[in-house]
Structure 1
């Protein structure tokens, strides 16, 4: 299972013992590879530290860490290398790890999310009750007896101490792990502030002091747990795309043995040269060479091509293609890891790794925050101890500095905007999936559109004109006896009617039958043309012939999705450029581009080619927003700076994207961009407000004019201001 630090584990559980990595090493092309689940890495600095130290191990050739999924992939060629050294190195750095098992990762992350939710609920309930007691103490000042006040402090302590121990565990464990690894993170000053405020409150309560600060400690935990929970919920979806592709390949298939018998085996056990029997409707799990005379294939997942493809013997068929005709025999050309889907999986992993290195504004601010706050608190303690000679006064001031500068507003600045923006997008039928998606979408200046399923409807239809109506109705007599996608399209376009007699389906060619006693055919030009002459220049994919008449074409048309032209107009206003990049036939891509008004377009491009186009645009300096819906788009979706997918997209495409949009109009895409840009502005404003607040509050705290209680109130006030500013995303029009 995925290994977690105690900060990441559900509350009440402990980290599992270290497991040997040797049984999990995979041998591939003369190289050894190990995939580990690493926990505790939360920012670009953690990622760089992990990759640098693991790469420094003698014998290691390559190391790749994916911050979003928590996966680390290391490979080597040295026979004597001990893979346990990688785990030992990571543990020594404060990032516990264990061999990766995708079957249990999501369950462990869900447990962590539930644990954070429970901790947040407990802290919120405790904060409300302690604040009620604090209000009683404040209101009764001058009238309440010392004994009564002390009793209320003890009641607050009874609520706060177990709450701090329970709800503070994610921060305490994370801070302890960082300190053991020889570095600090944002959880270190948080833990110090909470523990010192709680400890000082206990001291004051024992000595019948006038003030206690249990409310400050618990309220601080509650606010910070809100941000931590939102972050965990958004990040849990980030790693699913590669697992979806792996599940697509983790199937069983029929393999023909040398003696002619058939056995069912897992696709992962296939070897190059194995003979497979692919039944009607079955998807190929590996790349293979066609051994049968011909095959009718649906390659839409691979190329985006909406029309079924008739392929001759010897053709290379790619994983993900579906056999539409009679059962076929193929020879395995690659293993699952080296197939087209395997290559797309690697593109996804590389793309996710690239995105995981994206440094959000909060990460940049955190790098400066920790050393500055620690220095200020230390200066406050030393300075006031020298001035007053009183440890208690010096400690009060230092705690006030820690609490008043505690990164509550800083921690909420981005998450609260994200959740408000997510609600705004939800009302616009768009669903945010990634924590840092808003920042990346807002930065995009160029869009790469897929065609089929993105700009056009997935199901094509036949032109319904007066000239074609009679032909369609007659062709439907044959089509009603077939489940072929093109036959279904003919039936949908035609009027209701009978089924032809003696209908036969001819593999890779079409249909034949009798209509009112006349022989009729529906299919390719070669099939319907009795003379089998050269195809006309206006050749189309489907023809109909009935005895006594010449072959008639059935013209296929793709419907442009509603709002396409309005979307492009909005993109022009937003200053965003765009192009179409499709695996469909170049002629159809050109036709669609002309209809919607896109000047730049490319057709007949393979999945890897799409990802390469995105990378080329990135090299040119563009921040690319990729929009696609198919397996052939998944690699480009992951490689882009940000990605969107329609609601009807393939699972791998949806999970590789940052947001999913639905609804009747493509204008939702423009709404996503506008909201993202508005949210980016609010996030920057929130950090600006946090900086202004600290510039005012810190000097006052350093001069000793702020008690921990006032510091807690000020800290809460700053968080409220940040939240109110974030609500501006949900109101009014976005630019």
Structure 2
């Protein structure tokens, strides 16, 4: 049974109060409609039963640790049994021990405590082998063995309802996993943040016009000044009410859990500044602070939007992979008839037909047929591999040449493609532990500031003898002057400016914490094909090989080979045809799947063959033939009994690959190469690029294992890759980057995406990250120094709300001005020739 990952509570808290005004289980207000009569502390019988279930299983710590989000569905048990979906069509059976797998989407997930409770409730059920909840995607992967004594082996749902019943009783809704639902939720959240950001930005710009008029109005008439303030209020109040909702909801949820995150002081600061401004405006005072409140809100919404985009990318990566394995497959029945079926509904042991040009939807073994398989999405191998009877094939690979009949060995959650999804989700779940620097500081900062303001109020009122109105003004000045504007802006403003600079350099920064993690990177791990190299095979020049034993080609040989190659979709054949584009394709060319092409010259000349060494009669057992020690892929051309001709191919390095590797090593950064390609090919590329540590023949799991080993050594790895097989490694690395030419799923899994044919943007990104980290620390240090000077003055009653607002705005402007230094392109990146890459 899989062990859950308990999250230790921040502090020991008593269980829910059974006589409170809110339900002990779901947190909803208790009404007087009689539904909870005789059950104090609960809003309904369902919540009472759920509360007793959780406590009866010894899981009452859940109520101490949970963080209820008011914007998320309350945990009210489903009262209508018909509303619970039928899980039977979504079950998939594995090949080992009759295990059953069910992917689900959890509705009502609030926090890490919910993850702990769900996993614990499920793993306590007999037969459950695995229960994992991904907080980012809200996906629950459940795997169990049906129990005969429970009647699971004969039930249509294989015991799914029995196992899921405790989770449903608590109030979580479990529906079949649908990535489209996640996309809709993400799009809805991002659109709401974008609208709020647009409203705040529009309001900030217009309010600043009125503020500037007041500031530089000289001896402005009080009536005119009041008019300016009222106009600002008309714009600011609805804008603040609309834009502050994301922060207010988070603040309320945090306070309900007995904690204070960064959103608590932010919400109080914005609301207090707006309230004091309204007070001043209503009584005709000279000072208002609408501009500071709305400007702060605008910048914070930018940071929140960037964070939402990063989380959405993580979800879309997994959704893309799931969609890749969700295409229908053709099942061949016992009578030879064919039918289309979902991949996860195909029984193990069945036979499926995979047509040429079709992607394999299951894991299995080739029963009949010979073809070429493009496995680059799974293995990273640059060349298609020959597949015949007995060859293992995996979901996600592409059949290139001829139809295959495959005996099914694994479907659905048991396939290698599904395992890649699980690795990505596990890596993303681990990465979610990173939090912004400002949020970490706020855990101590927020309660201290609020305590100071409260102490100032009671101190001046009860001890100092001031009227409560004046004491409240002093407390307000303390809160305003200690408003965490500078602290809150320290991270998001630097992120925005850094993102803009990197965007101008051809780098798209996707994760809110990527810069922070990139600063810590001390090891860079490259993929080979499409990353260190261009990912495009090119024909090497002709002539004798280095051993002088023949095998070189002439222009006539190239034209003959191109005529045959134009009839094939094989990557090597296309490279030959591209080298002689003026040569028309020959007719009556026959393709031999997994071997090559043959053509009989109509004039009666000997047969011509183009393909593998064995197909063209080259003795592969000898070590002295021209291709015996080839460092790259090759094709052979043979006319009748004439000596064979060898065409060799190469995937050239990116133009600055060697220079970038040399620069990284000069900075003290370790460099490694991980590739799924052949040893000879990887060794040649590593030597050309100057990489001393390299590993060939790496599977997706092998790459992740190597990154885990580096992490165990204390290394912080920057992974750079472009293929689908690199996606788990990109997600598992400390920080990751992908070229714009990469497949979509790799770009979504990476933290940075860089444009162009050069690797220099990686150096630019590392330099920007270092400068951004330095500026963030300077901003945070300034924020604390500012508070150390101004707080004593405010507590002493020497600071009026006007001075407090001016000081608060000045601190924010200083932080922004400091961050703007990042836009100066003053860092020169060394290259091999000593030039600048920035």
Do the two structures share a fold, i.e. TM-score over 0.5?
yes
Q: Does 1:733 align with 2:827?
A: yes
> Which residue, out of 317, 340, 361, partners 2:393?
317
- Structure 1 residue aligned with 2:48: none
Counterparts of residues 307-706 of structure 1 (less than 5 Å): 307-386=383-462, 387-466=464-543, 467-470=552-555, 471-494=557-580, 496-515=582-601, 517-518=604-605, 519-529=607-617, 537=625, 538-539=627-628, 541-706=634-799
Q: Deviations over 1:238-292 (max 9, x none)?
A: 3221111011111111111122111112223222112111011111122111111
Residues 436 and 491 of structure 2 are in contact (CA less than 8 Å); yes or no, is this contact kept in structure 1?
Answer: no
Question: Using a 3 Å threshold, how does the CA distance of structure 1 residues 253 and 295 change in structure 2: closer, same or farther?
Answer: same
Partner SS for 1:388 = coil
Q: State whether residues 37 and 72 of structure 1, in contact with CA within 8 Å, keep that contact through their aligned partners in structure 2.
A: no
Classify 1:383/1:469 alpha carbon distance in 2 versus 1 (closer, same or farther; 3 Å).
farther
Bigger drift between 211-220 and 653-662 goes to 211-220
> 2:588 and 2:217 mapped to 1: Cα distance?
96
1:227-306 alignment to 2 at 5 Å? 227-306=303-382
* 1:36 aligns to 2:122 (yes or no): no
Q: Residues 528 and 551 of structure 1 are in contact (CA less than 8 Å); yes or no, is this contact kept in structure 2?
A: yes
Conservation of the 8 A alpha-carbon contact between 1:51 and 1:63:
no
| Distance (Å, rounded) in 2 between the aligned partners of 1:627 and 1:131 | 44
Say which is worse superposed, 374-383 or 206-215, in terms of deviation.
Answer: 206-215
CA contact 1:224–1:408 (8 Å) conserved in 2 = no
Task: Decide whether aligned partners of structure 1 residues 688 and 74 sit closer, same or farther in structure 2, where only a CA change above 3 A counts.
Answer: farther
SS at match of 1:690: helix
Q: Indicate the larger mover: 215-224 or 264-273.
A: 215-224
Taking structure 1 as reference, are residues 563 and 137 closer, same or farther at Cα in structure 2, changes over 3 Å only?
closer
- Offset, 1:148: 6.0
Q: Secondary structure of the equivalent of 1:645?
A: strand
Q: Is the 8 A contact 2:369 2:403 kept in 1?
A: no
Q: CA deviation at 1:717?
A: 1.8
**Native 8 Å contact 2:608 2:639 kept in 1:** yes
Say whether residues 1:83 and 2:167 are aligned partners. yes
Q: Which sits farther off after the overlay, 706-715 or 56-65?
A: 56-65
Do the aligned residues in 2 keep the contact of 1:678 with 1:734 (CA within 8 Å)?
no
1:15 deviates by: 6.1
Q: Could you tell me how far apart the structure 2 residues matched to 1:528 and 1:106 are?
A: 52
Q: Output aligned runs, 1:124-203, within 5 Å.
A: 124-133=201-210, 144=221, 153-203=229-279
Offset at residue 492 of structure 1 (A): 1.6
| Structure 1 residue ranges without an equivalent (≥5) | 6-12, 41-45, 89-95
| Deviation of the 1:445 alpha carbon | 0.7
TM-aligned CA deviation for residue 615 of structure 1:
0.5
For the Cα contact (< 8 Å) 1:87–1:98, is it kept in 2? no
Once residues 122 and 375 of structure 2 are traced to their aligned partners in structure 1, the CA distance between those partners, rounded to angstroms, is: 45
The 1:163–1:428 alpha-carbon spacing in structure 2 relative to 1, beyond 3 Å, is closer
Take 2:206 and 2:709, find their aligned partners in 1: how far apart are those partners?
58
Alignment partner, residue 6 of structure 2: none
1:74 to partner: Cα distance = 7.0
- 1:91 alignment partner in structure 2: none
- More displaced, 549-558 or 15-24? 15-24
* Offset of residue 137 of structure 1: 5.7
**Cα distance in structure 2, aligned partners of 1:334 and 1:76:** 14
Shift of 1:707: 2.6
Moved more, 353-362 or 496-505: 496-505
Cα distance 1:213–1:652, how it changes in 2: closer, same or farther (>3 A)? closer
Q: Deviations over 1:364-397 (max 9, x none)?
A: 2122222222212211212121213321122112
Specify the SS of the correspondent of 1:239: helix
C-alpha separation in 1, matches of 2:799 and 2:178: 51
- Give the TM-score normalised by structure 1: 0.88
The alpha carbon displacement at 1:133 in A equals 4.6
Cα distance between partner residues in 2 of 1:264 and 1:100: 22
Shift in CA distance, 531/583, structure 1 to aligned 2, threshold 3 Å: closer
Greater RCO, 1 or 2 (C-alpha within 8 Å, sep 6+): 1
Structure 2 CA distance for partners of 1:402 and 1:555, relative to 1, 3 Å: same
1:71 aligned partner: 138
C-alpha spacing 1:129/1:241, structure 2 compared with 1 (3 Å): closer
Q: After alignment, is 182-191 or 132-141 more displaced?
A: 132-141
Label 1:15 to 1:625 Cα distance change in 2 as closer, same or farther (>3 A). Answer: closer
The answer for the alignment partner of 2:191 in structure 1 is 114
**Using the alignment, how far apart are the partners of 2:336 and 2:176 within structure 1?**
40
Counterpart position of 2:294: 218
- Do the aligned partners of 1:296 and 1:508 also contact (CA within 8 Å) in 2? yes
Residues 209 and 530 from structure 1, CA distance in 2 versus in 1: closer, same or farther, beyond 3 angstroms?
A: closer
- Indicate if the aligned counterparts of 1:634 and 1:656 stay in contact, CA closer than 8 A: yes
Q: In the TM superposition, what is the alpha-carbon distance from 1:685 to its structure 2 partner?
A: 1.6
CA RMSD of aligned residues (A): 3.1
Q: 1:310 and 1:728 mapped to 2: Cα distance?
A: 56
| Matches of 1:409 and 1:172, distance apart in 2 | 19
- Specify whether residues 597 and 59 from structure 1 end up closer, same or farther in structure 2 by C-alpha distance, changes over 3 A only: closer
TM superposition shift of 1:209: 4.5
Unaligned runs of 5+ in 2: 1-26, 28-69, 93-98, 145-161, 544-551, 830-838
1:276 aligned counterpart, secondary structure: strand
1:309-351 C-alpha deviation (Å, 9 max, x unpaired): 1123112112221111211100111112111111110110011
**Per-residue CA shift, 1:51-100, capped at 9, x if unaligned?**
45556658558775655x35264758774742135556xxxxxxx99986
SS at match of 1:302: coil
Distance 1:53 1:499 in 2: 65
Question: Contact 2:369–2:402 at 8 Å: present in 1 too?
Answer: no
Q: How much has 1:136 moved relative to structure 2?
A: 5.7
Q: Distance in 1 between matches of 2:474 and 2:186?
A: 39
Please state how far the C-alpha of 1:468 moved relative to its aligned partner.
1.7
